[in-house]
Amino acid sequence: MIEYSDYRCPFCSVFAEETLPKLQPLIDDGTLRIEFRDLAVFGDDSVAAAAAARAAGKQGLFWEFQDALYRRLPNQGHPDVKDDLIMEIATQVGVPDMAAFEADYRSEETRTAVKNETAEGRRMGIDGTPFFFIGTRAISGAQPLETFQQIIAQEKAKAS
């Protein structure tokens, strides 16, 4: 599954907090692999949040950072994501080298990578988050768990 999301998107947050954990058994048994893509559509704070997740990822803590950030942000509106929150979450998830984290988080290279990935998604016609590709199927929005389970099962059967 390829997921396009924005950290400031309330529906992306709901997916990450409620649906994604329930898909973990399919990840654990090898049925599902998730690739995350940035689609930073809500401005500079969206780019900053994505840059922070990438910086944490350079130290092996991408998913932990992502989970902590989504849990911290409200599931409504498009909440601000400022430097103090980013640094607090990086500390919370145990980023071992905070100086390297901050350098990666603030680097133009990291921000450009986020913007390039966002542009790639837009060229593919994706203009809202969350958006998913599961096998050959495109899914727009944070659908119910059962929808994901059904499509994953259908795509697995087609691949067999």
The first and second tokens of residue 145, run together, are 């768990």
Q: Is the pTM of this model over 0.75?
A: yes
Query: What's the confidence (pLDDT) of residue 72?
Result: 95
Residue 36 CA to residue 25 CA, distance in Å, equals 18
Backbone angles phi, psi at 25, to 5 degrees: -60, -35
Asked whether residue 23 carries a pLDDT value surpassing 90, the answer given is yes
Query: What's the confidence (pLDDT) of residue 76?
Result: 86
Q: Phi-psi bin for 73: left (phi > 0), alpha (psi -120 to 50), beta?
A: beta
Asked whether residue 31 carries a pLDDT value surpassing 90, the answer given is yes
The model's pLDDT over 43-61, given as tens digits with 9 standing for 90+, comes to: 999 999 999 999 999 999 9
Residue 50 CA to residue 32 CA, distance in Å, equals 23
Query: What's the confidence (pLDDT) of residue 156?
Result: 93
Query: What's the confidence (pLDDT) of residue 88?
Result: 98
The model's pLDDT over 75-120, given as tens digits with 9 standing for 90+, comes to: 888 999 999 999 999 999 999 999 999 999 999 999 999 999 999 9
Sequence-distant (6+) residues with CB within 8 A of 56 are 62, 64, 65, 66, 90, 93, 95, 101
